[in-house]
Amino acid sequence: MRVRFAPSPTGHLHVGNARTALFNWLLARRHGGTFILRIEDTDVDRSTAASEQAIVDDLQWLGLVWDEGIAAAGGHGPYRQSERLDIYARHARQLLDAGHAYRCFCSAETLEAARQAQLAAGQPPRYAGTCRGLAPDVAAARVAAGEPAVVRLAVPAGREVRFTDLVRGDVTFHTDVIGDPILVRSDGMPAYNFAVVVDDALMAITHVVRGEDHISNTPRQLLLYEAFGWTPPAFAHLSLVMGPDHAPLSKRHGATSVAEFRAKGYLPEALANYLALIGWSPGEGEELLPLDELARRFDLAHVGHSAGVFDEDKLAWVNRHYLKAAAPARLVDLTTPFLADRGVVRGTVSAAGRAWLEFVVPPTAGAVDRLSDIPDRLHAVFAFDARAAVAQSSVRAEFEQPDARRVVAALAEVLAARPRLVDRETFRDAVAEVRARTGLKGRALLHPIRVALTGAGEGPELDLLVPAIDRAAELPGEAGLAPAVGCRERAAATMAALDAAGP
């Protein structure tokens, strides 16, 4: 089995295309086949080397390694269509000579006008076949005279083209609804339908798994296989991925590219796992499975027929699972850029700074949806302003609670008499003392402490936050982290701000 993913390097890798790549990859892995990456860059105006690189990076990030293709070995190259121009020219010649294709001299403007007219008249827009009857020698003479021409496939009239789609079953098209497709453009570049067929055939592709948007191209391609006398591969058309409003996923729905999800702090294994769940089920009610296990169970016959809505909430849930399972050192590495963006990490992190990150990041990552949420949860460690906090209405409201001030006063005293609270035990111990002094417990006790120390009512568990603050406060200035004020000072400052603000 040989399958391929053939993106066009005209932008970032879209999640819908990433899913197509994934399904191809899963199928190849499942059957011990070969997964090939081919670049379809025949649109010179829109294709860029940067896009190709971005797609390569995204595929590698997702873990979808290819066995053959650009930047890999393989005996069926080149794998970039722009490097196969002589091959297409040779095959176009073959079709022309065999009478399966012909030259068309209609200008793009003429064609566009005809298309508009047909649309306006409620007719299916389709090439009328104007140049089809031109005698070969007449056409050759016009070409020799320098007249621009395209090469079109002569689609046989009155026939049915059918194929058995591996996911949808039998599909039938009538050739009467197919206009003669352009094979070679006037500038000599091959057109999509022509290049794919030549490449898939020459690269010995056995299964073409692609988006449903290509289903109507399939009859044209089948006709080409027939013209060449080649045996076509098996086809499988995947339903499309939609946005929440059931419209094609687009920028207006938020993130749509793999790169954007990576930038938002989703783990590659999470995105890949989630993508596999759109239109397919690993079975037995299981959903959270690693790529190799998904591959072990993958089966085209069980791929769904209807379009799937991309649900970022569910992606986040999958991501949470992998965030909890990720190795601590990796989490720190992945989170550092997000922390740097917020100014928490500054420059080179020292061993002490790194130790601090390894203390706080893994447990924090286990409680958020994505890595980009981590700076928010850690924000309070480095930013604290008692006066500003007390000026907030929500914080003031907290301290209007009957015993809140007593808690802060006791906390300030307790902390003043203690060393830094650098672990959970010493923190709990300090809380126990505040509890003993105030006789309060539960929310009445912890919430004022939280607000007094962080200036906000929400955030990570105090068991982690407080030690994180005091450890950060002990760090030398060159640790690579922003400076932090310790809890002892915070409690005192809050008390002072409260006193200054009056009852």
Partner RNA sequence: GUCCCCAUCGUCCAGAGGCCUAGGACGCGGCCCUUUCAAGGCUGAAACCCGGGUUCGAAUCCCGGUGGGGACGCCA
Catalytic residues, by residue number, are 251
Kindly state whether residue 158 participates in binding RNA, applying the rule CB under 7 A.
Answer: no
Kindly state whether residue 189 participates in binding RNA, applying the rule CB under 7 A.
Answer: yes
Q: Give the count of residues interacting with RNA (CB under 7 A).
A: 95
For the chain, what is the radius of gyration of the CA atoms? 32
**Out of 48, 116, 123, 164, which residue is the one contacting RNA (CB under 7 A)?**
123
d(CA 305, CA 279): 7
Kindly state whether residue 164 participates in binding RNA, applying the rule CB under 7 A.
Answer: no
d(CA 343, CA 353): 14
Minimum distance, C-beta of residue 308 to RNA, in the bound complex (Å): 3
Looking only at residues 226 through 245 of this chain, which bind RNA when binding is defined by CB under 7 A?
A: 239-240, 242, 244
Kindly state whether residue 482 participates in binding RNA, applying the rule CB under 7 A.
Answer: no
Binding mask 14-43 for RNA (x = CB under 7 A): --------------------------x-xx
Q: In what order do the strands lie in the sheet with 150-153?
A: 101-104, 150-153, 182-184
Kindly state whether residue 87 participates in binding RNA, applying the rule CB under 7 A.
Answer: no
Minimum distance, C-beta of residue 161 to RNA, in the bound complex (Å): 10
**Out of 185, 253, 379, 406, which residue is the one contacting RNA (CB under 7 A)?**
185
Any idea what DSSP says for residue 318? Answer: H
> What DSSP element (H or E) covers 114?
helix 108-120
d(CA 271, CA 277): 10
d(CA 221, CA 311): 34
Helices (H), 286-403: 291-297, 312-325, 328-341, 351-365, 374-382, 386-391, 393-399
Q: Which residue has the tokens 């297409």?
A: 88
Query: Which lies closer to RNA via its Cβ, residue 144 or residue 301?
Result: 301
Kindly state whether residue 297 participates in binding RNA, applying the rule CB under 7 A.
Answer: no
Query: Which lies closer to RNA via its Cβ, residue 134 or residue 215?
Result: 215
Of 179-187, 254-262, 475-483, 485-493, the window that binds RNA (rule: CB under 7 A) is 179-187
Give yes or no for a contact between 372 and 338, defined as CB atoms under 8 angstroms apart.
Answer: yes
Query: Which lies closer to RNA via its Cβ, residue 157 or residue 432?
Result: 432
Any idea what DSSP says for residue 177? Answer: G
Kindly state whether residue 177 participates in binding RNA, applying the rule CB under 7 A.
Answer: yes
**Out of 278, 326, 334, 484, which residue is the one contacting RNA (CB under 7 A)?**
278
Of 94-102, 259-267, 312-320, 478-486, the window that binds RNA (rule: CB under 7 A) is 312-320
Minimum distance, C-beta of residue 37 to RNA, in the bound complex (Å): 13
**Out of 48, 60, 107, 164, which residue is the one contacting RNA (CB under 7 A)?**
107
> What DSSP element (H or E) covers 4?
strand 2-5
d(CA 328, CA 334): 10
Query: Which lies closer to RNA via its Cβ, residue 247 or residue 500?
Result: 247
**Out of 83, 311, 425, 499, which residue is the one contacting RNA (CB under 7 A)?**
311
**Which residues have CB under 8 Å from 114's CB, separation 6+?**
125, 128
Binding mask 316-345 for RNA (x = CB under 7 A): xx--x---x---------------------
d(CA 201, CA 228): 10
Minimum distance, C-beta of residue 174 to RNA, in the bound complex (Å): 6
Query: Which lies closer to RNA via its Cβ, residue 282 or residue 353?
Result: 282
Kindly state whether residue 252 participates in binding RNA, applying the rule CB under 7 A.
Answer: no
Kindly state whether residue 496 participates in binding RNA, applying the rule CB under 7 A.
Answer: no
Kindly state whether residue 277 participates in binding RNA, applying the rule CB under 7 A.
Answer: yes
d(CA 258, CA 262): 6
Write out the DSSP string of 44-111: TTT--HHHHHHHHHHHHHHT---SEETTS--TT---BGGG-HHHHHHHHHHHHHHTSEEEE---HHHH
**Out of 49, 137, 145, 313, which residue is the one contacting RNA (CB under 7 A)?**
313
Query: Which lies closer to RNA via its Cβ, residue 123 or residue 483?
Result: 123
Kindly state whether residue 356 participates in binding RNA, applying the rule CB under 7 A.
Answer: no
Give yes or no for a contact between 72 and 112, defined as CB atoms under 8 angstroms apart.
Answer: no
Looking only at residues 128 through 157 of this chain, which bind RNA when binding is defined by CB under 7 A?
A: 148, 150
Query: Which lies closer to RNA via its Cβ, residue 24 or residue 480?
Result: 24
**Which residues have CB under 8 Å from 450's CB, separation 6+?**
456, 457, 459, 462
**Out of 233, 268, 308, 353, which residue is the one contacting RNA (CB under 7 A)?**
308
Kindly state whether residue 215 participates in binding RNA, applying the rule CB under 7 A.
Answer: yes
Query: Which lies closer to RNA via its Cβ, residue 349 or residue 360?
Result: 360
User: Which is it for strands 207-211 and 68-69: parallel, antiparallel or unpaired?
Assistant: unpaired
Query: Which lies closer to RNA via its Cβ, residue 67 or residue 176?
Result: 176
Token couple for 175: 């050739």
**Out of 441, 478, 500, 501, which residue is the one contacting RNA (CB under 7 A)?**
441
Phi-psi category of residue 53: left, alpha or beta, with phi > 0 → left and psi -120 to 50 → alpha: alpha
> What DSSP element (H or E) covers 151?
strand 150-153
Kindly state whether residue 127 participates in binding RNA, applying the rule CB under 7 A.
Answer: yes
